[in-house]
Amino acid sequence: MVDELAIAGLAERLRGAYDSGIPCPPVRGGLPTGDIAAAYAVQEANTRYWLGAGRRLVGRKIGLTSKAVQMQLGVDRPDFGMLFADMAIGDGEEIEIGAVLQPRIEAEVAFVLERPLLYERPTAADVIRAVSYAVPAIEVVGSRIAKWDINILDSIADNASSGLFVLGNERRAIDDFDGRLCGMTVENRGEPISVGAGAACLGHPLNALRWVAAEMVRRSRPLAAGDIVMSGALGPMVSAAPGEVYTARISGLGSVRAAFSRS
């Protein structure tokens, strides 16, 4: 067991990086090797802090679902983090380049739920019934850890390296597109810079949703009606540069843009 004071100290270190805009050293050194539960305890400490400060929880993000992203970061399993209302950015709305530390972008499928998911072992049918619609999405991921020097413990503790998210404006029923075979392209200045497909996300984006639904029940924060769930990357993440606009296109779902300020 990790001392509660140690957990609180690591949570405060990460909040300090959020507030100062200065990345901090990795937190894994303060946690037992491979202790996933302790890393989530750090995340939960900050979740409780932010909820107490008035932030509104609106969903979850699933990270590290793509083998390509796992290879980029040297990890071997997915993780999850919290989505708060103040992380939402409109399609094409300018994003201050300093709003997220060390920003990178991922194209994802986002699901919006119309029913809660309350089972510890949800079936595929449970998940399908719970989804109201899907939209194309871009997640602006970031790391409070200096130079993205992270392993799975750092990612989890740091709210799964979350930053901001952008949702497309045209919704689709999940039977109107092929979640497994849908192709994804991220373009910048007309050139593709990341490509992938739904199958890159744990074999199907709904598999990722089912995974996080089960995790949330086990951790007493079940997914609720109205929640947004970012399913995880459909391909490699790419660094975001000042003044650039990135367009993600997902076949059957449409497109969404993330536009960054010049300074």
Burial of 29 (0-12, 13-18, 19+ CB in 10 A): exposed
Q: What is the pLDDT of residue 147?
A: 95
Q: What is the CATH number that goes with domain 57-260? A: 3.90.850.10
Per-position pLDDT tens, the chain of length 263: 678 999 999 999 999 999 999 999 999 999 999 899 999 999 999 999 999 999 999 999 999 888 777 787 777 789 999 999 999 999 999 999 999 999 999 999 999 999 999 999 999 999 999 999 999 999 999 999 999 999 999 999 999 999 999 999 999 999 999 999 999 999 999 999 999 999 999 999 999 999 999 999 999 999 999 999 999 999 999 999 999 999 999 999 999 999 999 98
Q: Which token pair is 158?
A: 């740091």
Q: What is the pLDDT of residue 176?
A: 94
Q: What is the pLDDT of residue 1?
A: 64
CA–CA distance, 248 with 258 (Å, rounded to integer): 8
- Residue-range domain boundaries for the chain: 57-260
| Residues 139, 163 contacting (CB under 8 angstroms) | yes
The alpha-carbon radius of gyration of the chain (Å, integer) is 17
Q: What is the dihedral of CA 245, 250, 255, 259, to 10 degrees?
A: -20
| Residues 43, 35 contacting (CB under 8 angstroms) | no
How crowded is residue 34: how many other Cβ atoms within 10 Å of its Cβ?
11
Beta strands in 93-217 (DSSP E): 94-95, 104-113, 131-141, 164-167, 183-188, 191-197
| Residues 62, 231 contacting (CB under 8 angstroms) | yes
